[in-house]
Structure 1
Amino acid sequence: MVAGETSGDLLAGLLMGGMKVCWPNMQAAGIGGPRMAAQGFEAWWPHDKLAVRGYVEVLRHYRGISRIRAQLAERLLQQRPDAFIGVDAPDFNLGLEARLKAAGIKAIHFVCPSIWAWRGNRVKKIAASTDHVLCLFPFEPELLRSHGIAATYVGHPLADAIPLQAPRAAARAALGLPEQAPVVAVLPGSRRSEIAMIAPVFLQTVALLARQRPDLRFVLPVVPGLRELVEPLLRQHAPDAPLTLLDGRSHEALAACDVTLIASGTATLEAALFKRPMVIAYRMNGLTWQLMKRMAYQPWVGLPNILCRDFVVPERIQEAAQPATLAADVLAWLDAPARMAAVTGRFDELHHLLRRDTGRTATDAIAQILDQS
């Protein structure tokens, strides 16, 4: 298995939980993180070696990443596992899967690359590289099958892992937050590049909100290993704000909050599953943004908006992500209880749609693929 970043590690860990029920003696190894390790995964390389987003950023790390992929391919071709599962990270995994598939090793890709959003030409590479795709969203299998790609809708494992009713009071008690105070969860991303680009503007927004609404409380979950990046930024941009840094614990932060200021990515889906109104923002290298913007097929960037096919929550990308704008967006949620209730209802419908016991459903699909050998 290969999971290339924090979100992939989370998905793979949840998938492995279902697989181990079916195959208690399953052995899994490759590239992964702590959630996979908790399921008995043997990480030959840590997942953060691949946690790079954007064309310009990838170029800086291209040689190291290519070296890892070549070494991993040689090792897998020697050991010949029953199956290889690439978890997201298509730019890394599809090339690896193509090589393994050509050698007769079953190549399964978990998470359909977002060809419906951008880079639709990748569908040919998916067809050449994979034996089967496990899809998180219900509209994806039909799209893939129209291109001759075998696929199964397995739901989203986060929809199984996150309760239908978020434990708000318990989460606040666990985090030491007052029961009645309005709470904003601040999630600036899980990659170093995201912290560098997004955390400063998020913390400037926090400082502005704290001045405008002294009763607000803030929590900021920090991915393990990135605290040393966040703490100096906090001292620089929001030294006096009532903000608590958390070591991980993003789910508790989302359960405890009233609204979240959040970087675009998998975390936005987690926030939706916790039924939390949000303000989505993102900043990246300017050249990367220009390239991605030209290849986009849809007006939405955030997963909740893409899945709802509507701007149910605001998106502020690149220069639109300014502290004054983000602060106004956050307050617009807090000052509109009816609007918050309406989006909660949309997210509840989404949660039920994505809840499919992904671990069991995906394991059943994998078992059928192996039986075809």
Structure 2
Amino acid sequence: MPVAPSPLPPRGEAAPHIAMVAGETSGDLLAGLLLNGLKARWPNLQSGGIGGPQMVRRGFDAWWPSEKLAVRGYVEVLRHYREIAGIREQLKNRLLSAPGQRPDVFIGVDAPDFNLGLEAALKADGIRTVQFVCPSIWAWRADRVEKIRRSVDHVLCIFPFEPALLATHGIAATYVGHPLAAVIPMQPNRQTARRTLGLHDEDTVVAILPGSRKSEIEYLALRFFQAAALVKRAKPAIKFIVPAIPALKILIERLADEAGVRADVQIVAGQSHAVLAACDVTLIASGTATLEAALFKRPMVIAYNMNWLSWQIMRRKQLQPWVGLPNILCRDFVVPELLQDAATPRALADALLQWVDAKSSAPEKITAVQQRFTQLHALLQRDTSQLATDAIQKILET
């Protein structure tokens, strides 16, 4: 149970009260960038709800930590359902009933399974609701459209094709670009990143990113490290580096040790952007991190593994042949995807070695990927904080 926080301070200079919920690391990052724009517009902005360190750094009052919502997969969610449902009910009651807590607008950042139900209840009680990051109805679970329409007043879309799709269903939306496209430089500085991490210019570096959730790491990290062992056997000079969320660093170290590669893998706390800037190729869990890798123009092998039942349910709801965000946005298998039973250590190692070998034998293959990702970067690069803040201000004025 969280410690009961103090009430939000009184309003000042017409600054709005904003409630927000961001789940897991990627949502915390997006919400932190959004808060930059909101606080630039309203310096006395007051905000509270569920969030992580990036949001807290911007003055957000985190009543619960965002990691409480960092659960993925049907079966995994069921195991944590009682706690998560309890948090949502407490938050709803607080926003609707607690003195001084009723917000002018609620902003749900990603986490649609948690946020849409909460937004529906708040909207029914007259609170304006905004969903930042459209649920992926174009990729799977198209049946969510009706729930989105019922739950939100406006959707802030991070991909350019989404507003037109939502408009066909009568849902107001604004394309605001992807915040990461403005943060990540168009031409990342590999040399600086390597110096920061103690790597040499001539090193061949493989970044291993097994996910930001404990459940992802439990399903993926061991096979990722087993793949690294096979790659190391074929190419002994290769360097491996893993950016770990500090709270999960010990678990990652244990799994690297179990795979017999602890001495061969450099595990650093955080610094995922430095790691992606420094690497030649990455073995990476499907999710927001794959888009970050694409924005860093890095070849990658996308992989995922989850509870068998969750996988069976998810694949039946899938609408497109791709799972990785870079492939979905490029509408092509620009980089390989190895999912569930296909994500064996041997297959992962072979896919990685193809990229490693291409560095010397087929550099045009790497150049082609970098060109596709540069085009994608330009498409997603907008002043997201400004555009999102403008849209939220219009909603507040209605």
**What TM-score do the two structures reach when normalised by structure 2?**
0.92
Change (3 A) 1:240 1:370: closer
Contact 2:253/2:262 (CA < 8 Å) preserved in 1?
A: no
Q: Would you say 1:187 and 2:209 are equivalent positions? A: yes
Q: 1:203-282 to 2 correspondence within 5 Å?
A: 203-239=225-261, 241-282=263-304
Shift of 1:242: 2.4
- The total of aligned residue pairs comes to 372
Amino acid at match of 1:231: E
d(CA) in 2 for partners of 1:14, 1:297: 30
Contact 1:206/1:238 (CA < 8 Å) preserved in 2?
A: no
Deviation larger for 194-203 or 19-28: 19-28
Instruction: State the partner residue of 1:51.
Output: 70
Structure 1 runs (4+) deviating above 6 angstroms are none
d(CA) in 2 for partners of 1:351, 1:194: 27
Instruction: State the partner residue of 2:45.
Output: 26
Instruction: State the partner residue of 1:98.
Output: 120
Q: Name the SS of the counterpart of 1:138 in structure 2.
A: coil
Contact 2:108/2:130 (CA < 8 Å) preserved in 1?
A: yes
Deviation larger for 78-87 or 273-282: 78-87
Residue-by-residue CA offset, 1:216-258 (whole Å, 9 max, x unaligned)? 0011011120012111111110336521001010000000000
Contact 1:160/1:355 (CA < 8 Å) preserved in 2?
A: yes
Counterpart of 2:379 (choices 353, 356, 360) is: 353
Contact 1:135/1:153 (CA < 8 Å) preserved in 2?
A: yes
Q: 1:146-157 to 2 correspondence within 5 Å?
A: 146-157=168-179
Shift of 1:338: 1.1
Residue-by-residue CA offset, 1:244-295 (whole Å, 9 max, x unaligned)? 0010100000000000000000000000000000000000000000000011
Contact 1:206/1:241 (CA < 8 Å) preserved in 2?
A: no
d(CA) in 1 for partners of 2:181, 2:126: 34
d(CA) in 2 for partners of 1:201, 1:60: 24
d(CA) in 2 for partners of 1:40, 1:340: 42
Q: Name the SS of the counterpart of 1:142 in structure 2.
A: helix
Note the residue ranges of structure 1 that are not aligned, 5 or more in a row. none
Contact 2:230/2:346 (CA < 8 Å) preserved in 1?
A: yes
Change (3 A) 1:240 1:39: closer
d(CA) in 2 for partners of 1:67, 1:232: 32
Instruction: State the partner residue of 1:112.
Output: 134
Q: Would you say 1:37 and 2:49 are equivalent positions? A: no
Instruction: State the partner residue of 1:84.
Output: 106
Shift of 1:138: 0.4
Shift of 1:327: 1.0
Deviation larger for 229-238 or 121-130: 229-238
Instruction: State the partner residue of 2:183.
Output: 161
Contact 2:239/2:264 (CA < 8 Å) preserved in 1?
A: yes
Residue-by-residue CA offset, 1:149-194 (whole Å, 9 max, x unaligned)? 0000000000011011111000000000111110000000000100
Contact 2:205/2:279 (CA < 8 Å) preserved in 1?
A: yes
d(CA) in 2 for partners of 1:198, 1:270: 19
Q: Would you say 1:301 and 2:320 are equivalent positions? A: no
Shift of 1:328: 1.1
Amino acid at match of 2:234: Q
Deviation larger for 145-154 or 76-85: 76-85
Instruction: State the partner residue of 2:310.
Output: 288
Residue-by-residue CA offset, 1:66-91 (whole Å, 9 max, x unaligned)? 10000000111132111100000101
Amino acid at match of 1:247: A
Instruction: State the partner residue of 2:14.
Output: none
Instruction: State the partner residue of 2:88.
Output: 69
d(CA) in 1 for partners of 2:264, 2:68: 34
Counterpart of 1:339 (choices 361, 365, 388) is: 365
Contact 1:210/1:241 (CA < 8 Å) preserved in 2?
A: no
Shift of 1:347: 0.2
d(CA) in 2 for partners of 1:335, 1:234: 24
Amino acid at match of 1:61: H
Please, what is the CA RMSD of the aligned residues? 0.8
